[in-house]
Copies of this chain bind each other. A is one copy, B any other.
Amino acid sequence: MNTQKNDLDPLFKPKSMAVVGVPRDGYRFGGLSFLKKLQTAGFPGALYPINPKATEILGMKAYPDLPSLPEVPDLAMVSVGAGRVPDVLQSCGEIGLKHIHILTSGFNEIGTNEGRELDDRIRTISEEYGLMVVGPNCMGPYCPSSHLTAWGAIPGKNGTLGIISQSGGITQRLTEYTCSVNIGVAKAVSFGNGTVLGDIDFLQYMGEDDNVGVIAMYLESVRDGNAFLRAAGEVNLKKPVILWKGGESEAGARTAASHTGALAGGRGAWEAFFRQTGVTRVSSMNEWVDAITAFTWLAPPSGIGVFLIGGGGGNSVSYSDTCVREGLSVPQLSEDTMAVLRGSVPSAGSIAGNPLDHFRIFQDAHYLAELLDLAYKDPAIAMIVVDRLIPRMAFHLPDAPDSNPAVIQFLKGRKDGKPTVFTVDSEGGDPVLIQQGAELRARFREQEIPAFPSLDRAARALRHLVAYGRRLRLRIED
């Protein structure tokens, strides 16, 4: 469908909402639970529960039907049984209520004739009235800045991430995950069957939205592979698109098909898609959020050279290997840098160069700052990874004050520096060390400094960022 910029705004920033299909009480998932959550979230607009058998629900006036409403709301959330949905859509169309989210399942995705016919009726009624319909069979729109948070992280966190997904569960978890690592969401939509509005519509909408800086997508299938490829390639040049394609395997695709009823596409087709569009590909929740974090807080590095700075944990060799496996390099430092370093690094027990791994780095924030300044000037270096230790017996560390606050202060003042990330690896199963690691990473993230639980994950995220930067530069040079 051909949507204009801002056509979809009322889906995410409605000033008023009708909820069609709200029982008076009970615990079933659906209209009532959504209404409760909207109340909790502090949705500031008018909420209109629709239930012919009630006059009041959750302290709000209830209405018997849509025509009886005092105004035409911006958005309707529909939670009635599948067989009744077409009539509700008709009613929406008749009163000029164009933006609709259908939560209900039991359409295309269940694979019955009846389900498919109901799906078709949604399409035809929407075409007739020019309805903008999300779903059916989905959690719908989510937007912290407008308090439209009936699911996912509540109240959530406003930010610049756009999310487009075919899986409600994954979207919910992504909003919680990103919130917990200080990444805010501009808009999210779980669009289910995509009968009217689908992947391309939301992709182009978010591509045009200046509030969205990075777009995360989770798809198990697309309706029109060629059109999607074109749209994704275009949007990816405006802002990074990070796509998790679920159902790569036959087993995964078999399960995915039971979710949405659509075809998944062969592996070769998807490999070609990623190659041609330059869209970033991820395969797990961790990889997804790591990439989102890197793309949100860092500019793409100008090259592949990593400066590995450790606090004496002994990771030099393995960290070098990991970087190189990810297509990065761990180059020798320039002569100017080496000249300065040789004067400052004792020769016994540590080695001046790249990687640089010394306890002094962990304990002396001023020294680390000097090293970072050197790296920011060194033409061989495009990005820096700093390994922070969680003090434990094996490191034989003498007691020393916590140098991390000073390190964070320094970096706050050097946002102009080259992309710099931290690894804080608790290494092991000890819940105390694990929590300490989590708390330290949270402190870095509070200041929008990426912090990863392992070098494997940091290097993977940097690889994605480097590849995206390279794709942009290729395009500019065309």
- Quickly give the copy total for this chain: 2
- Across the interface, do B314 and A169 meet the contact criterion of CB distance under 8 Å? yes
- Across the interface, do A252 and B317 meet the contact criterion of CB distance under 8 Å? yes
Stretch at the interface among A66-74, A114-122, A295-303, A431-439: A431-439
Using Cβ atoms and an 8 Å threshold, which residues of chain B touch A476?
A: none
- Across the interface, do A316 and B429 meet the contact criterion of CB distance under 8 Å? no
Stretch at the interface among A173-181, A204-212, A371-379: A173-181
Stretch at the interface among A227-235, A241-249, A334-342: A241-249
- Across the interface, do A321 and B181 meet the contact criterion of CB distance under 8 Å? no
A454: interface (CB < 8 Å) = yes
A388: interface (CB < 8 Å) = no
Q: How far is the CA of A325 from the CA of B258 in the complex (A)?
A: 21
- Across the interface, do A321 and B252 meet the contact criterion of CB distance under 8 Å? yes
Which residues A273-311 have CB closer than 8 A to chain B?
283-286, 289
Of B247, B284, B320, B439, the residue contacting A255 (CB under 8 A) is: B320
- Across the interface, do A258 and B351 meet the contact criterion of CB distance under 8 Å? yes
A251: interface (CB < 8 Å) = yes
Of B177, B351, B355, the residue contacting A428 (CB under 8 A) is: B177
Using Cβ atoms and an 8 Å threshold, which residues of chain B touch A355?
A: 251, 255
A406: interface (CB < 8 Å) = no
- Across the interface, do B431 and A439 meet the contact criterion of CB distance under 8 Å? yes
A9: interface (CB < 8 Å) = no
Offer 25 A-B interface pairs, CB within 8 angstroms, sorted by A: A172-B394, A173-B394, A176-B393, A177-B427, A180-B428, A180-B429, A249-B324, A249-B325, A251-B323, A251-B331, A252-B317, A254-B320, A255-B353, A255-B355, A259-B317, A283-B318, A284-B318, A285-B318, A285-B425, A286-B454, A289-B428, A429-B442, A429-B445, A431-B442, A435-B438
Q: Which 8 A-B pairs have the closest CB atoms?
A: A169-B314, A249-B324, A251-B330, A180-B428, A252-B320, A181-B429, A431-B438, A177-B428
| Partner-B contacts on A (CB < 8 A) | 27, 29, 33, 105, 151-154, 167-170, 172-173, 175-177, 179-182, 220, 244, 246-252, 254-256, 258-259, 283-286, 289, 313-314, 316-318, 320-325, 329-331, 348-349, 351, 353-355, 392-394, 396, 398, 425, 427-431, 433-435, 438-439, 441-442, 445, 454-456
